[in-house]
Amino acid sequence: MKKSQIAFCALLALCAAGRVHSAPADVEARVEATLARLTFDEKLGQLWQFSGGQPSEAASSDRSKGTLDPKFLEAVSAGRYGSVIGKRGLENYNAIQRAAMDGIGIPLLIGHDMIHSATTTYPIPLALACAWDESLWERTASAIAVETLALGCNWTFTPMLDVALDARWGRIAEGGGCEPLVTGLMGAAMVRGFQGADMSDGFHIAACAKHYVTYGASFGGRDYNAVEMADSTLRDVYLPPFKMAVDAGVATVMPAFHSYNGVPCSMNSYLLRDILRKELGFDGMTISDWSAVRELLNHGVAGNKADAAVLALNAGIDMEMVSDCYVTTLKAAVDSGRVSMKTIDDAVRNVLRVKYRLGLFDRPTLDAAALANAIDPAANRALARECARKSCVLLKNDDGALPLKKGVKVALLGDLAANEWQMLGCWSTRDLSNFANATLLAGLKADGVDVNYVEAYTLTGRVDLAAVEAAACGADIVVAAFGDYWENSGEGNSSAILELKGDQMKVAEKVKSLGKPLVAVVFGGRPMAFPDLAKTADAILMAWNPGGCGGWGLADVLTGLAEPWGRLTVDMPYATGTCPLYYSRTTTGRPAAITANHPFGHRYTSCYNDAPFVALYPFGYGLMYTTVEYSGEKAVVEGDSVAFSADVTNTGAREANELVQVYVRDEVARIARPRRELKGFKRVALRPGETKRVEIKVPVASLGYTVDGRYAVEPGGFSAWIAPDSDSGRNLHFEISAK
């Protein structure tokens, strides 16, 4: 397949920013010169990421201040490792790089998962995605980059670009949600933030696009599980975010753990060589996931470590993370001709290229003072608060329950409302000294709210309904924390039950039985199924895992100091059994409709007989404290693009920040197409009463799909919606004519 045929070419046209220029002109010559002087064993060393060599804890409870084992430093000097994983602190980083430069003369890549946190903790990626804000994503990654260096790492294993349609999959927390365009724009912005315009400037780090590819589609939402998928779906849904990250200049790519159409991604040369290298033009380095080369034995495709190493390296995995199949077996594989010397050399070239691009040879050690100077903890906390404000999504707000009125007495309930640790999220720093006491309770107090906190219940355990009643009776309004603990999402945390656990609904019902308005603040690292809470609560704010300044940001929205900004990038289900659930589903031959007589859809149409097949809250959805109306919607083909426009009016009394979204459907195609696909979006600020004409241009080239191995835009009729979410809007029609 030619590059021009790749489905996502047009998505890229929507991605404003260009490639990161980080490669000095002489990189290739220096790579060759370095390669030429290496022994075979030294080459193998470059292909290994070692997980040992952690500082001893004896010196301090802070491991980064512990000392390194001299034997480890000797091995570094001897070139036994191309990379190590884990934070060891800046001084230890410098000790490692000095040992490397004094010895083999090749600095190490030192990587760690700085996903939404290095020192400061920002909301989880799924939450950040709900901000739909490229500048925020880039600024956050850039702030994490500097803190990462200060902790002694020059490489992060993020962004996670797995389109995730299934809320059962715990790793949905780590990415942008169910939409390729949003995931790709966020990923590219994060790559720009981590790597900067010049990755070697001493203030940026290497990024890693992962998990390549289709990991988010694992059967049953069960982590590490197999994926079977049509090539067209791979190309139209799962590859576009990776293409966008590669075009943004991402330095490294990590293949996923699972098997794709029977072939594990760690030995999948179709994905790694044919697509990633040849079609996408990626010239950086690939690294396996944690011991994933060794796991080829568990997949049942390699009989021993030697087979695993041969399969992975020949397929295009340059560096092996943690397991030691490469270093222990590749010598014999070369001797027996199972692996060519050129394959080894090419992998080493890829590793060295990233090291040169990162400037490690020219600046192997870090400048502690310069980094300390570049880090402004107060500014980072302000950014984390902004992120928390912009990531939460207002799902319900009956009778203006929110914002909290000035002077009202608030009863704040639930263990999560006063628990700083629970604001964090699956990849946050665990170093409590970096936290800022940003619970919801602290945030509300800081924003001047008259708040009485009573724990009264924990999410999964004990509930004291008498305490709920006493607190509610003494207040004008109840704000209560619901949802799930962050430890239940993220890697290795697939869930078969997304409904609210424990006695949470008893709390909601008790409050309502007392006639008090109930504001539910729902925490969690994934979409959850809470139709009963949606009926009972007067207002619902989806808080996700809002990060180390989370409570402050949430309080700003609850009090109205900030307007609600977030919009869902996933669909919220009615019931676990309806997952995977995503707005871009196909209509089927028997489209179902929800009506008064058939609240779940009519029998013999594509629905369930015991729960709605649609979303409780759909992709794109999120309320503000004001209302808007759309009128005069138009879709006009203008040469190579379609101009979508509408008058958007703020019909309420507060400021609006409307997220205008454009969805398109190919009306008659050669294969069944999604009922809607997001093609563009724009944020528009409106004063009360103000109307603005909003125009969003979408390239015609983005309206196609892949069939029979070819991406094409087919002439004919298209439906379009210019709308505030993926379920609403007036149906427009436009025609694409044959060229």
Give residues in contact with ligand BGC (CB under 6 A).
113, 157, 210, 289-290, 491
Nearer to ligand BGC, 52 or 591 (CB): 52
CB of 648 to ligand BGC, least distance (A): 40
Q: Which of 640, 632, 617, 607 is nearest to 692 (CA)?
A: 632
- Catalytic, 289? Answer yes
Q: Which residue shows structure tokens 């869902």?
A: 568
**What residues contact residue 421 under an 8 Å CB cut-off, 6+ apart?**
432, 435
Length of the chain: 739
Nearer to ligand BGC, 113 or 563 (CB): 113
Nearer to ligand BGC, 157 or 326 (CB): 157
**Residue closest to ligand BGC (Cβ):** 157
105 neighbors 131 (Cβ within 8 angstroms) = no
Nearer to ligand BGC, 157 or 457 (CB): 157
558 neighbors 444 (Cβ within 8 angstroms) = yes
Nearer to ligand BGC, 121 or 626 (CB): 121
Q: Which residue shows structure tokens 């034995």?
A: 297
Nearer to ligand BGC, 266 or 419 (CB): 266
Calpha distance 662→677 (Å, rounded):
8
Calpha distance 7→712 (Å, rounded):
8
Backbone angles phi, psi at 732, to 5 degrees: -100, 165
Q: Which residue shows structure tokens 């100091």?
A: 561
CB of 81 to ligand BGC, least distance (A): 15
Q: What is the per-residue burial (b if ≥16 Cβ within 10 Å, else e) of 30-47?
A: bbeebbeebeeebbbbbb
Nearer to ligand BGC, 141 or 554 (CB): 141
3-state DSSP assignment of residue 44: helix
HEC profile of 399-425: HHCCCCCCCCEEEEECHHHHCCHHHCC
663 neighbors 678 (Cβ within 8 angstroms) = yes
CB of 574 to ligand BGC, least distance (A): 30
3-state DSSP assignment of residue 447: coil
CB of 290 to ligand BGC, least distance (A): 4
199 neighbors 250 (Cβ within 8 angstroms) = no
285 neighbors 278 (Cβ within 8 angstroms) = no
Token representation of residue 684: 């528009």
Nearer to ligand BGC, 323 or 536 (CB): 323
Side chain identity at residue 477, one-letter code: I
CB of 218 to ligand BGC, least distance (A): 12
Calculate the CA dihedral of residues 22, 27, 28, 33 and round it to 10 degrees.
Answer: -160
On the CB side of 317, how many CA atoms lie within 13 Å of its CA?
A: 33
Using CB atoms within 10 Å of the CB of residue 263, give its burial: 0 to 12 exposed, 13 to 18 middle, 19+ buried: middle
**What residues contact residue 27 under an 8 Å CB cut-off, 6+ apart?**
353, 356, 357
3-state DSSP assignment of residue 367: coil
Options 166, 289, 318, 556, the catalytic residue: 289
CB of 205 to ligand BGC, least distance (A): 14
CB of 266 to ligand BGC, least distance (A): 12
CB of 295 to ligand BGC, least distance (A): 11
CB of 251 to ligand BGC, least distance (A): 14
317 neighbors 287 (Cβ within 8 angstroms) = yes
Q: Is 52 left (phi over 0), alpha (psi -120 to 50) or beta?
A: beta
Nearer to ligand BGC, 156 or 650 (CB): 156
What are the residue numbers of the active site?
289
